[in-house]
Amino acid sequence: MIWLKAFVSGFLATLIFHQGLFAVFYFADVVGSPPFNLTPVPPFGVPSVISLAFFGGLWGVLIWALIGRMKSLGFWSLSIILGAIGPTTVAMLVVFPMKGIEVTAQSWVGGVILNGFWGLGLAIFLVLMGARKKHMNLF
C-alpha cells in the first residue's frame, strides 16, 4: 500500500506542483509551450501530461525507496534535492535527445527548478497520504 501512495504522490505532484509552476513560467513568458499538454504520445496515445504524471509516479516510488525511512529534515531536503537532480538529469541526457529537443543551460536550470518543486510536492503528498505517520513534524 505504501508503494501505491508513493506512486500517487508522484503522479499528483506532477499535475499540481510541476505543471502548476510550469504554468507560472508559461504566463511569465519564460517557456514557450503551454502546461498540461494534451497531445497524444505513442505507443498508447495517452495525453502527454498523463504520460509525464505516470513517470512522475514512478519517480515517486524510486525516491520513496531512498528517503522513506529518513528523519524529517533529511526526508524533506532529500525529496527536493533528489527530485531536482534525478528527473532533470534523465530528461536532459536521455529524453530530450531521443525527442530531438535541444538541451541548453536554460533547460537545465528550468528543469532543476521545476523538478525540485515537484520533489517538494512529492514530500507534501506523502505526508498528507499518511506515508510519514511516524515523522509528521517538519523538523
pTM, to two decimals: 0.90
From first to last of its 139 residues, the chain has per-residue pLDDT tens of 899 999 999 999 999 999 999 999 999 999 889 999 999 998 899 999 999 999 999 999 999 999 988 888 889 999 999 999 999 999 999 999 999 999 999 999 999 999 999 999 999 999 999 887 654 444 4
The string of DSSP letters for 64-114 reads HHHHTTS-HHHHHHHHHHHHHHHHHHHIIIIIHHHHTPPP-HHHHHHHHHH
pLDDT at 2 (0 to 100):
92
C-alpha cell at 87: 528527473
Residue-range domain boundaries for the chain: 2-135
**What was the pLDDT predicted at 130?**
84
Contact 25, 110 (CB under 8 A): yes
Length of the chain: 139
pLDDT in the model for residue 32: 87
